[in-house]
């Protein structure tokens, strides 16, 4: 067995749960919830990668020196990723709204006019 930190574990679990929703749930909104959870998981993963035990937040005021702060880069990345995530979610939800107007359902098995 491999030993990983609880944060990694939590993050990977979120990713898997999200993917599970996409793979199993037939309701489109449920799938989108899954994607959203997946994104949260990925963000948590990124932040955990940047964490250094025993150091404080990378705000260099009041006696926090350059060698006492955690890695700022993943945090910057995650800021970006969160915003991108919410943007995707908003887009996806408007598409879902149109789909509901046109098909009268959100079941992805019935939204299958394009195929073959």
Partner 1 sequence: MINDLMILIFAPLVAGILAWAFDVRGIREAIGFIGAAIPVVILAKTYQTVLSNSINYTITVGGFKLIFQLTALNWYFAAVAAIVGIAMALGMISTSRSGYEWLFALMSYTGVLGVFLSQDFIGFFLLWELMTFASFMMVLRNNRHESLKYFVLSVIGAYAMMLGIAILYAKTGALDFATIRQALYMDLSIGAISKGESALLFVLFLTAFGVKAGAFPLHVWAPGAYSEANQSYTSFFSGALSKAGVYGILLLYILMGAKLYAEFGTFHGHLTFAYVIAWIGAITVVVASFLAVLQEDIRKLFAYSSVGQVGYILLAFGVGTSLGFAGGLFHVLSHAVFKGLFWLVTAAIILQTGKTKFKDMGGLAEKMPFTFAMGLIAVLSLSGIPPMAGFASKWLIYEAAIQAHMPLVAGAIFLGSGLAFAYVVRFLYAVWFGQRPSDLDNVKEAPLPLLIGMAILAIPNILFGVAPGLVTEYINKAFGSEIVGGDYFKLVTPTGTYNALLVTIVLVLGLAIAGLVFLYGATTRKIPVTNTYQSGNPVIEDYNLSIRRNFYKPLAEALDFWLKYSWDRFYERIAGIAEDFADTLRQSFYNGNVQSYSWYLAIVLLILALWGVL
Partner 2 sequence: MNCISCIEYIIVAIMIISAILAVEWKDLLAAAVGMAAVSLFASILFFMLQAPDVAMTEAAIGAALSGAVFIFAIKRTRRFETEEEEKPGWWMRW
Partner 3 sequence: MNGQYAALIIALPLVSAFFVPVIKAISKKAVMPFLLLVTLAQVGIAGWVFNEVYTSDKPIIVMAGGWRPPVGINLYIGHFAALFVLIIAVISFFMAYFSIKAVKVEPLDKYAMLFLLLMLGATGMIATGDIFNLFVFMEITAITAYALTAYNKTGEAAEASMKYMILGGIGSSFFLIGIALIYGATGTLNMAQIAQLAGNINPTVAQVGLALLIFGLAVEAELFPLNAWAPDAYQAAPHPITVMFSAFVVKAGLYAAARLLYLMQAVSTWHSVLRLLVIMAVLTVVVAEFSALRQRDVKRMIAYSSISQVGMIAFALALGSQAGVDAGVFHMVNHAIVKALLFLGVGYVGIKLGGTTLEDFEGLGRRMPLTAFAITVGSLSAVGIPLFNIFWSKVRIMLAGVSAGYTWGVALILGASVVEAVYYLRLIHRIWFAGGGERLSESFALGAIMLFLVALILVIGFYPNYAWSLAQKAGADIFDVTRYVSNVPLMGVGA
Positions touching partner 1 (CB under 8 A) are 19, 22-23, 26, 31, 108-109, 111-116
Please give the Cα distance from 73 to 92 (Å, whole number): 28
Please give the Cα distance from 94 to 88 (Å, whole number): 10
Please give the Cα distance from 38 to 15 (Å, whole number): 4
Q: How far is the CB of 26 from partner 1 (least distance, A)?
A: 7
Q: How far is the CB of 62 from partner 3 (least distance, A)?
A: 26
Alpha carbon 4 to chain centroid distance? 20
Q: Does 21 bind partner 3 (CB under 8 A)?
A: no
Quick one: which of 33, 64, 70, 81 contacts partner 3 (CB under 8 A)? 81
Total residues contacting partner 2 by CB under 8 A comes to: 52
DSSP 62: T
Alpha carbon 52 to chain centroid distance? 22
**56 strand-pairing partners:** 69
SS3 label, residue 76? helix
- Contacts with partner 2 by CB under 8 A lie at 6-7, 9-10, 13-14, 17-18, 20-21, 25-27, 29-30, 32-34, 36-37, 40, 43-44, 47-48, 50-51, 55-59, 69-70, 74-75, 78-79, 82-83, 85-86, 89-90, 93-94, 96-97, 100, 106-107, 109
């Amino acid at each position: 067995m491999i030993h990983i930190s609880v944060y990694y574990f939590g993050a990977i679990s979120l990713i898997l749960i999200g993917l599970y929703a996409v793979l199993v749930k037939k309701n489109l909104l449920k799938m989108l919830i899954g994607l959203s959870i997946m994104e949260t998981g990925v963000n948590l993963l990124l932040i955990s990668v940047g964490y250094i035990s025993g150091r404080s937040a990378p705000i260099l005021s009041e006696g926090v020196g350059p060698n006492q702060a955690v890695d700022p880069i993943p945090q910057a990345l995650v800021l970006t990723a969160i915003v991108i995530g919410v943007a995707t979610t908003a887009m996806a939800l408007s598409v879902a709204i149109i789909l509901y107007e046109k098909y009268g359902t959100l079941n992805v098995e019935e939204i299958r006019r394009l195929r073959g």
